[in-house]
Structure 1
Amino acid sequence: MSDIQSQLPTILHHNTIAKLEYDKLLIGDRRVYPFEKKYVVANNVFEAASAIKNMVTQGGGPLEVALLSLIMIARQNGKDEKAFREGVKALSLARPTNTTMARELNNLLSDILKAFDDDDFIFKVVKIVNCKLSYYDYLYDKMSDYGKTLIDNNDGILTTCFPEHSFFLSIYKAREEGKSFCVYAPETRPYLQGARLTAASLAEMGFEHYLITDNMVGTFMGLGKINKYMTAVDLALKDYTVVNKIGTLQNAICANYYNIPYYPFSISFDETKDNIRDVEIEYRDSKEVKLFKGVKTTSDEVRAIYPCFDIIPSKLVTGIVTPDGVRR
């Protein structure tokens, strides 16, 4: 593995995201973080897919869970092509908007099927998966080398939801270069990933930060406190349209109004999607809008709706931070 763990908050460490206990997978439960630090046990690939669908992990977490699930399938089923194909299908369908996991699994499936000819098949699958995990660490690190150059001294940086590896590596490296800045993290309703994951991680690593409510962004931009906007993305299209957590669009519109640059991070573009008509936006159970950690926030008869993701047009994107540089 690339040595980036010391530059990341605990929630992004490999063993916190997920870890194998031979043929069972333990998945870090982000739904209860930072109040509890526990794992959900997946006894098979279908339970792993269910955990992804049920938001046990999110953002970049499902990709790592999916990769480790390939080892679990190998240890439980050996050289069973049907088991691998069904497992890959179940994982790919768990979160339909973010296609990185599905694309990567389908690419690796061919490598695994070729490994059926190997005498030490399970060892070969472990090697394939670990090489891929190391490669993603390399990509996160490379992206952050570009991301850090976009951060200036005394910046006020807004993010949305949980910005994942490359953002945290970028601000770590910027601080190491002597830059001072403040990160503003909106709480991100209804799961409060901004409050529970982002702000808690910023505090853990000693970064200057403020937790704000989702409807404070325009005010702080108008006051001149925020002058950069940086997020992860769940999907990047060929036309530079990006898809990210609900709330990203309204913040990008505000940023555009106040002439604030918006730089999302994306490992790759989905070359199969030409424009927004090709994007499937996931809708979750509307009950999640009316609850927080099981506590009702309104009456039962109230109707709610919950699209998980925003589509942000390319005209609102200043540049996309990729492993090959900032693409504009």
Structure 2
Amino acid sequence: MTAVKAIQSVQLDDENNTVIILDQTLLPNEKVFLHLSTPEEIWEAIYHLKVRGAPAIGIAAAFGVYLGTKQSKASTYEQLLDDFQKIKQYLASSRPTAVNLFWALDRMEDRLKVEKDKSIEEIKNALKEEAEHIRNEDEQVCYSIGEHALSLLKPGWGLLTHCNAGTIATARYGTALAPIYLGQERGYHFKVFADETRPLLQGARLTAWELQEAGVDVTLICDNMASIVMKEGKVQAVLVGCDRVAANGDTANKIGTSGVAILAKYYGIPFYVCAPLSTIDLDCPTGEHIPIEVRKAEEITTKWYEKPMAPENVQTYNPAFDVTDHELITAIITEKGIAYPPFTKSLKHMKSV
């Protein structure tokens, strides 16, 4: 378990002007770290899911916009700001749904503007410091989410999770997996069911790998098996992460999450969303306002197969996320505490604490 928690999925090598990421597309068969030195390489890594998970994407973007600005030849603040904004806008175009991407880039720009009266070198150093703060704060945020979530769980429970919201999706610990790791340390002996999470199999490739490496009792199931394990009484709570939370509590997460929430509601199982405050978007009124990324057909038809597994030229629809209605969510667990319905009030309060 210590080895899994020790993994840093995103880190800065400032001396060599690179962002180092764990290539999640190669797991579980290969553990390869990529050294990225240009905004183009970082954009490509985010878009192609080599780095994924809302917090990890934000950290990668913060490091990326810092490195790009560090290499700027600007001699004035105005020139530096112009270079920064071009890199920021470019990186922001990589994925539309995870609000952490935009939150981290906006935070970096805010820091740059605060330092505008300092020298170019001092501004660049401040950007490095801010990016490192974003990474370090996320680790503490995840730990706090784990503590709050663990207070809702009992030893020996069966837990179901969807997609991957673990160590490799964050700075450390994860969001939805954080209480599982803390429970493992404290003898809770959870039994975890991991949905495979089609079509990109984040549950099969990443969550099952993480938890098995950590010595957690984990069972991999197909997405369409969630209902039967719930019906059989094997699941006492559902834990998922998220990429954006609207002001009313509607939550965007990996495709298939809303179906799990509907099943949990039917079987009377609590459905918990583990969400850093940075994913809560009070400017987004409801889930209908969350942009949903639609990805290429090949992820459904050919990506995981030796031969095509669908008719040639068949129409496909491949949304990467869906929105879970707030009425299906038992609670949203943040680093500042647990938000209960009505979320319009509790989330606003959480953000103001």
| Fold match (TM-score > 0.5) | yes
One-letter identity of the residue aligned with 1:227: Q
Q: Could you say what secondary structure the match of 2:249 adopts?
A: coil
Which residue pairs with 1:233 in the alignment? 242
Give aligned-pair identity as a percent: 25
Q: CA deviation at 1:18?
A: 4.2
- Residue 315 of structure 1 aligns with which residue? 327
CA shift for structure 1 position 41: 4.1
Deviations 1:241-285 (A, max 9, x none): 111000101111100000000001111210110012311111001
Structure 2 residue identity aligned to 1:107? R
Aligned partner of 2:285 among 263, 270, 274: 274
1:71 deviates by: 2.6
TM-score under structure 2 normalisation?
Answer: 0.85
Is residue 298 from structure 1 mapped to residue 310 from structure 2 by the alignment?
yes
- Point out the more displaced range, 214-223 or 88-97: 88-97
Q: Decide whether the 8 Å contact of 1:241 with 1:313 is kept in 2.
A: yes
Q: Secondary structure at the match of 2:31?
A: coil
Q: How many residues align?
A: 321
| 1:141-181 CA distance string (max 9 Å, x none) | 11111011122122110000002312332112223332121
Report if the CA contact (8 A) 2:261-2:324 is conserved.
yes
- SS of equivalent residue, structure 1 residue 184: strand
Two-structure CA RMSD over aligned residues (Å): 1.9
1:184, 1:24 → 2: CA distance?
Answer: 37
Structure 2: stretches of 5+ with no match in the other structure? 75-79, 167-173, 341-353
Deviation, 1:133, is 1.4
Cα distance in 1 for partners of 2:248, 2:303 equals: 36
In 1, the alpha carbon distance for the partners of 2:218 and 2:20 equals 31
User: Given the alignment, which residue of 290, 297, 304 partners 1:286?
Assistant: 297
Taking the aligned partners of 2:83 and 2:40, their CA distance within structure 1 comes to 11
Partner of 2:346: none
Q: What do the CA deviations read for 1:75-114 (whole angstroms, capped 9, x no partner)?
A: 3115522221011112222111111220221122121233
For 2:329 and 2:2, locate their aligned partners in 1 and report how far apart those are by CA, in whole Å.
27
8 Å Cα contact 1:231-1:263 kept in structure 2: yes
What residue is the counterpart of 1:66 in the other structure? Answer: 61
The whole-number CA distance in structure 2 between the counterparts of 1:139 and 1:276 is 24
- Which stretch of the first structure deviates more once superposed, 66-75 or 315-324? 66-75
* 1:281–1:308 contact (8 Å) kept in structure 2: yes
Per the TM alignment, residue 127 of structure 1 is displaced from its structure 2 partner at its CA by 1.6
Equivalent positions of 1:247-266 (< 5 A) are 247-266=256-275
For residues 276-297 of structure 1, give each alpha carbon's deviation from its aligned partner in whole angstroms, at most 9, with x where no partner exists: 2311111001221112346332
What letter corresponds to residue 63 of structure 1 in structure 2? G
| In 2, Cα distance between equivalents of 1:235 and 1:123 | 30
- Specify the code of the residue in structure 2 equivalent to 1:138: Q
Q: Is contact 1:78–1:122 with CA below 8 Å preserved after alignment? A: no
- Give the match's secondary structure for 1:97: coil
Change (3 A) 1:290 1:326: same
